[in-house]
Structure 1
Amino acid sequence: MTQSRPGNAYFPHIDGLRGVAILAVLLFHLDIALFSGGFIGVDVFFVISGFLITSHIRNLIEKDRFSLADFYVRRARRLLPALLFTLALTLIAGCILFSASQLEALGNSALQALFSVANIFLWLESGYFGTDAAMKPLLHMWSLSVEEQFYLVWPFYLLFFARRWSIAVLIIPGAISLVCAQYWLLHDSSMVFFMMPFRICEFALGAMAFYLYQSQIKTRALREGVSLIALALILTPVFIYQKDTLFPGLSAMIPALGTALLIHSTANTSTARLLGSSLPRFTGLISYSAYLLHWPLIVIYKYAFFPVLTWTAQLSIAVLSFGGGYLMYRFVETPFRKKSGHHFKISGKTLALTLLLSAGIITASSLIIIQSDGWPSRFGANQFTQEKIEEGMGDRFRLLSRLCKTRASDNCQVPSPDKTNNVLIMGDSHAPDALNMFLTAFPEKHYVMDTLPGGCPPLIAEDQSLLSPQHPDRQKCIDHNRKILSADYLKDFDQVIISVYFDWYRAENLAKTLEAIEALSDANIIVLGNYIVLNRGMAELVNQQIDIRQSQEFIKSFALYEQELKTLPSDRVVFISKKALLCDGDDIGSCRLFFNNKPFSWDEHHLSLQTGIYLGQKLKERYPEFPVPARPH
């Protein structure tokens, strides 16, 4: 993703490495299961950047010719034309195809990418592997933001140590970065994934490959062996890493080390000559443009045509990515970098004017899109804007907020002295749905909803391994479950309601939790089933005028594990089916999808406030008294 000519040297095998990296990323993003760890291609790019940028800066420092202004102009020539062109194309496509909410989100993403802060906002908003993130056409700009942030600090660091140049200058920041990354992975894996300081260890490995470049392995056979091992270190993670691999940190060091070793092996090995041959080298040359184009193409296809990539779609997107990548490399990248003699064909003044004008147009367009709430009038019909969707999601907590205001205690999640009136709502981000439902049906009860924000169902100790290493609150979830699944905590409650999102958390995991609660407490338990789970937000589907009853490919699950939950082996457990309350039969066509003109969910599966209230009303009809199962005799 950076230039391949440090000083006057050219390394064909580095361009070949870029070709391997972009193929890995593309095949991973095309949802080809064999390449489940293809995301490590980005780490290969980072190591290459560390090598080339460090070599470029050091060569010029040693010749007393390094200029910060010249360095950043060269970076602008290399990165900005293709970036601005991609942003413009994506915005145009978004204006034609995207709904108001999706276009508004795209406008925000374009600004974040333009100002090199996409990684920061993605960390704050969601994870790389999340459903919401997967529908962002500019999601991949996070890596470019990381590189650009690295370029802001690394030249100053190397200049500071210009006269104290040693391997320690590179090892120390790399080691600090790696230790911090590995430590924070257990606390906030999303931050480690997206934030530049935790990636310095990868750039530093590339810099060390440059420092040690003159210390070549003398024995040819050993050099050949090292290059083969290096290639294996890069390729093996592509096939064995998964989305839930604890990453980056130490696991990222395997492909990063392989990249550094392969760079260091020079072109005098069979592996390097293979990588430097025509096809890998050509793929590497167009890799930056192909990288920029491939992800918007994938998202646009999934949005406009089909949520799952067919093999014909995968092939078409691959061809368009590389074909479009070549055209962009040839007609956008190259003109701004090509020299005529000792001077660039496009002068510095023309470059500055072109880039400033383009950036200004993109900034203005993005701001207009955001200000107009995504330009909903394009479609003539009413659209759910991003503001309406966020308002709807926030409404889920309205009854909880009202409940807290009526209680004298500063902490509204404190049980009352009357144990028989206390109801504990246990669950994950679906717990507010249960509160809306039961508070509507039985407002006289004292509800306590002690949950984490999301993704943390009630797990006994032996099931805590189900929590992905990438879970942003993994340790908090473990500590939370240790607290609530204890006799001391449960003793204050006569009723426990469990409302969770069933997916990786299965009915069998719930059965173990129920067993633990029954052993720790004499409380009776109510379990709520799932309703409809989508692979795209319901509000967004309404904006696209997609009826999920006709287009069931957008349905991920419907009343998942219903049969298993109906037969839970306990006299103290009652199962309440949302499907039975909201549908007239087993077919999804008999189910209600709107309540007071609001969708049953604003996103993929969390129930809207209106749905929760309706469920409460139906529950009250079915159970005039609080639905307590008979205690075992």
Structure 2
Amino acid sequence: MIRADIQALRAIAVLLVVAYHFFPGTVPGGFIGVDVFFVISGFLITGHLLSKPPQSPRMLADFWGRRIRRLLPASFLVLLATLVAMLLWAPQTIWSGISKEIAASALYVQNWFLAGQAVDYLAVDNAPSPVQHFWSLSVEEQFYLVWPVVVLIAIWLVRRHRRRTERQAVGVAIFVIVVASLIASVVITITDPAAAYFVSWTRAWELGLGGLGACLFPWVQQRVGESHAARVVVAYVGLVMIAVAAFSFTGAMPFPSYTAALPVVGTALVLVAGIGRGALSPLRVMAWRPVQIVGDSSYSMYLWHWAALVMLPYALGHALHRNGKLITIIVVFFLAWLTKVLVEDRLRGRRPLGVPLRRSFLFAAVGMLAFVLAAGGVVGFVNMRAAAAQSQLDTELNDPASCFGSRALVNANACTPHGKSLLTDPVFAAADQPAPYKDGCWVLGDFSDQKTCHYGSDLPDAKKVALVGNSHAGQWLPPLQQIAKKENWSITTYLISECYTVDRPIQFPSAQKMKNCSDWNDKVITDVQHSGYDLVVFSNRTAQPMPGMTEAQTFAAAQESYTRVLDEWLRTGTPVLVLRDTPYATELRNVPDCVATHLKDLSACDGTDARKQVDPLAAAAEAISAPNLSVLDETSRICAKGTCYSVLGGVIVYFDRGHMSATFATSLAPDIKSAADALLARSAKR
């Protein structure tokens, strides 16, 4: 029997998510619709398993087969449509990333894939994936895989020991899981907040609480009895809790953690209330036919809405504005209804996919394999394009023209800024990153892994060079590597993401990450001071705030701190070359993506002097008068006459929107070599 209140909760959940994604300002906490879905799933699946408990592998297979027929046909349809839309309209720069996520979504491990991506802050510069919403479906599928096994074990134990009823045994097992998962949710949200949003451990308690509601439902109904008023009050309390969360929560709050208890407990209260249609009952509105239609189509609506929102701008060639979004929502409703009627309803039964049962699993296996192979084919194609571009580029680099890359502004009278042709393909540029990205030579995540790496010469007489800073230091490694080949340099990298090299705390979401950043900086400052380097190359992007400070206060405090750090190094006689932070294409999401969509008008991806960055490190260095300190400002190699370029001399300047591509950075090697030689010569005369 289909409960109208549950269908209405589904409608509320999907409408909250749709409103949050299309018009985020209207429902700032609309993301809690996913949590409502989790509780509903836990309640329904646990109730089903209690009414028909699995007692054999065959019964488990039958349960999983029904889940396959219920969920996979519609999800595979949306994944296929997304893959086709990507190939038709999206720039090739994002094909590889989207394809990998399509494969992860088809295998229902998208939540773990995104949790892995969450530690890479560069990923925020990438275009949103049209299938990233499959993370919640992945959590649910993993729940459907494990939950019947938990119920089976609990029932087997109670039948063996006969100490309590089957429902009590299942309830105890679920309670243990809920407590353990809630603790994990609180801890992981503190220690790794970005990944905590996606991983299954932090979400299991939400599904489990719905399961507890199913275990307690008969007892609650007996206690409440015929008291319609009590049920109505409980249901209204639950609905108010959901509403408060939806309109008061924001993305800045720690989540899921214990914070999610408000919408989760609220949903559970509505479910266990089991309200009827009596006087003042919210069911009188919840049972309204349009609400029920939305609830019936909520699964397909959830599948289609995000894919449509992300992919349509590529098809149309411009962003969706308010009217466009409203039309898109109508289209999504229509697509969801068609998918419900023509796909979900037709394939969820015993035929054609359920008899014999192996057809269900064959359908799942073939579908997953097909998407993995298709994604692999797209990634292979993109890699071939990048390899071909690299081959052509190697030829150019062996005999660089006077207008190549940054040289286009050096020889401005003889060169056109963008170049006569695009020498770095956008697909190639998106992957044109310094070696540490491929080598894993970064301190990432919670900054607990304090690694350093070596590049360049291994000869005992090599000049010892330290490259110090965050990712805006790492972008300078390619030109340093080129110099190292010719000048016998041995380069040690001290590279970390976001954390910049100062002697005071920097604000991060977790206390552990703040401490690890400070520990890393203490290590780096000490290592550089006592390791006898012949040259230190130092650069940072100073973006993260300091605790309790505004942006201006942070910059002032950072400049003072940088001054102290530089003084410590300079007192040892070590030459320090400070590289001023480079312009940042803040108005674009991703430069290679922009170039890929504006190949006939590269100027559409250029910016203004607003891209230039305030750099407290360079300011600190410029205020110090020391023969063993120099500042190199390469802004004029990217910006000229009020324009900051995204393509120069046929080379795409950035591989995202703020980090120079390895190829473009390499074109700056002559400037770095000249500055380093002058600094070393001046220091040698002391």
TM-score tier, shorter chain, comes to: 0.7 to 0.9
Matched residue SS, 2:217: coil
Q: CA deviation at 1:45?
A: 1.0
Q: CA deviation at 1:375?
A: 8.8
Equivalent residues in 2 for 1:93-242 (5 A)?
Answer: 93-126=85-118, 130-131=123-124, 134-162=127-155, 163=158, 164-166=166-168, 167-214=171-218, 215-216=220-221, 218=224, 221-242=229-250
Cα root mean square deviation, aligned: 4.3
**Kept in 2: contact 1:265–1:272 (CA 8 A):** no
**2:499: which partner in 1?**
456
Q: Distance in 1 between matches of 2:639 and 2:341?
A: 57
Write the deviation string for residues 350-374 of structure 1: whole angstroms up to 9, x where unpaired: 9647666655654553443344338
The AA in structure 1 aligned to 2:554 is: N
Query: Pick from 556, 561, 572: which aligns with 1:511?
Result: 556
**Kept in 2: contact 1:602–1:608 (CA 8 A):** yes
Query: Pick from 368, 378, 397: which aligns with 1:369?
Result: 378
Query: Pick from 315, 327, 334: which aligns with 1:316?
Result: 327
The AA in structure 2 aligned to 1:29 is: H
> Alpha carbons of 1:336 and 1:594: their partners in 2 closer, same or farther (altered >3 Å)?
same
Q: CA deviation at 1:144?
A: 1.2
> Alpha carbons of 1:623 and 1:496: their partners in 2 closer, same or farther (altered >3 Å)?
closer
**1:499: which partner in 2?**
540
> Alpha carbons of 1:425 and 1:567: their partners in 2 closer, same or farther (altered >3 Å)?
closer
> Alpha carbons of 1:12 and 1:181: their partners in 2 closer, same or farther (altered >3 Å)?
same
TM-score (normalised: structure 1): 0.80
**1:528: which partner in 2?**
580
Query: Pick from 580, 587, 601: which aligns with 2:636?
Result: 580
> Alpha carbons of 1:141 and 1:12: their partners in 2 closer, same or farther (altered >3 Å)?
same
Write the deviation string for residues 444-479 of structure 1: whole angstroms up to 9, x where unpaired: 998764232x23234665652xx235x995553354
Q: Distance in 2 between matches of 1:128 and 1:109?
A: 15
Query: Pick from 573, 592, 597: which aligns with 1:539?
Result: 592
Q: CA deviation at 1:348?
A: 2.5
Q: Distance in 2 between matches of 1:611 and 1:556?
A: 19
User: Which runs of 5 or more residues in structure 2 are unaligned?
Assistant: 159-165, 390-421, 442-451, 571-575
**Kept in 2: contact 1:117–1:142 (CA 8 A):** yes
Q: Distance in 1 between matches of 2:509 and 2:674?
A: 40
Q: CA deviation at 1:73?
A: 1.8
**Kept in 2: contact 1:529–1:576 (CA 8 A):** no
Write the deviation string for residues 46-99 of structure 1: whole angstroms up to 9, x where unpaired: 111100000000011299999212211211121011011112211221221234
Query: Pick from 476, 494, 500: which aligns with 2:516?
Result: 476
> Alpha carbons of 1:332 and 1:521: their partners in 2 closer, same or farther (altered >3 Å)?
same
Q: Distance in 1 between matches of 2:503 and 2:3?
A: 54
**Kept in 2: contact 1:463–1:509 (CA 8 A):** no
**Kept in 2: contact 1:393–1:602 (CA 8 A):** no
> Alpha carbons of 1:404 and 1:251: their partners in 2 closer, same or farther (altered >3 Å)?
farther
Q: Distance in 2 between matches of 1:319 and 1:504?
A: 42
Q: CA deviation at 1:312?
A: 2.4
Q: Distance in 2 between matches of 1:139 and 1:539?
A: 21
Query: Pick from 348, 354, 361: which aligns with 2:355?
Result: 348
The AA in structure 1 aligned to 2:659 is: H
Matched residue SS, 1:403: strand
Query: Pick from 80, 83, 92: which aligns with 1:88?
Result: 80
> Alpha carbons of 1:520 and 1:474: their partners in 2 closer, same or farther (altered >3 Å)?
closer
> Alpha carbons of 1:161 and 1:370: their partners in 2 closer, same or farther (altered >3 Å)?
same
Write the deviation string for residues 384-427 of structure 1: whole angstroms up to 9, x where unpaired: 48677435453778999663653769xx9xx97xxxxx76623x
User: Which runs of 5 or more residues in structure 1 are unaligned?
Assistant: 1-8, 417-421
Q: CA deviation at 1:289?
A: 0.5
Q: Does 1:406 align with 2:399?
A: no
In terms of Rg, which structure is larger? 2
Equivalent residues in 2 for 1:424-439 (5 A)?
Answer: 425-426=468-469, 428-436=470-478
Q: Distance in 2 between matches of 1:370 and 1:437?
A: 28
Q: CA deviation at 1:226?
A: 3.4
Q: Distance in 1 between matches of 2:436 and 2:495?
A: 18
Q: CA deviation at 1:319?
A: 1.7
Q: Does 1:328 align with 2:339?
A: yes
Matched residue SS, 2:252: coil
Question: Percent identical across equivalent pairs?
Answer: 23
Q: CA deviation at 1:549?
A: 5.3
**1:5: which partner in 2?**
none
**2:40: which partner in 1?**
48
Q: Distance in 2 between matches of 1:619 and 1:207?
A: 63
> Alpha carbons of 1:195 and 1:396: their partners in 2 closer, same or farther (altered >3 Å)?
closer
The AA in structure 1 aligned to 2:176 is: I
Matched residue SS, 2:585: strand
> Alpha carbons of 1:385 and 1:148: their partners in 2 closer, same or farther (altered >3 Å)?
farther
Q: CA deviation at 1:531?
A: 1.4
After the TM superposition, which of the residue ranges 51-60 and 181-190 deviates more from structure 2?
181-190
**Kept in 2: contact 1:31–1:309 (CA 8 A):** no
**Kept in 1: contact 2:499–2:517 (CA 8 A):** yes
Q: CA deviation at 1:292?
A: 0.9
Q: CA deviation at 1:158?
A: 0.5
> Alpha carbons of 1:134 and 1:206: their partners in 2 closer, same or farther (altered >3 Å)?
farther
Q: Distance in 1 between matches of 2:636 and 2:14?
A: 49
Matched residue SS, 1:34: coil
**Kept in 2: contact 1:530–1:560 (CA 8 A):** yes
Write the deviation string for residues 514-562 of structure 1: whole angstroms up to 9, x where unpaired: 213435662568462331325443333333344785435x969943444
Q: CA deviation at 1:436?
A: 4.8
The AA in structure 2 aligned to 1:158 is: V
**Kept in 1: contact 2:301–2:332 (CA 8 A):** yes
Matched residue SS, 2:131: coil
Q: CA deviation at 1:153?
A: 0.9
The AA in structure 2 aligned to 1:122 is: L
After the TM superposition, which of the residue ranges 314-323 and 185-194 deviates more from structure 2?
185-194
Q: CA deviation at 1:286?
A: 0.8
Matched residue SS, 1:425: strand
**1:281: which partner in 2?**
292
**1:6: which partner in 2?**
none
Q: CA deviation at 1:156?
A: 0.7
**Kept in 1: contact 2:125–2:657 (CA 8 A):** no
The AA in structure 2 aligned to 1:59 is: S
**1:265: which partner in 2?**
273
**1:21: which partner in 2?**
13
After the TM superposition, which of the residue ranges 253-262 and 151-160 deviates more from structure 2?
253-262
Q: Distance in 2 between matches of 1:346 and 1:440?
A: 60
Q: Does 1:79 align with 2:71?
A: yes
**Kept in 2: contact 1:12–1:267 (CA 8 A):** no
> Alpha carbons of 1:120 and 1:251: their partners in 2 closer, same or farther (altered >3 Å)?
same
Q: CA deviation at 1:155?
A: 0.2
After the TM superposition, which of the residue ranges 301-310 and 566-575 deviates more from structure 2?
566-575
**2:623: which partner in 1?**
571
Q: CA deviation at 1:28?
A: 2.2
> Alpha carbons of 1:256 and 1:628: their partners in 2 closer, same or farther (altered >3 Å)?
farther
> Alpha carbons of 1:315 and 1:393: their partners in 2 closer, same or farther (altered >3 Å)?
farther
Q: Distance in 2 between matches of 1:257 and 1:22?
A: 18
**Kept in 1: contact 2:482–2:669 (CA 8 A):** yes
Q: Distance in 2 between matches of 1:536 and 1:256?
A: 34
After the TM superposition, which of the residue ranges 37-46 and 347-356 deviates more from structure 2?
347-356
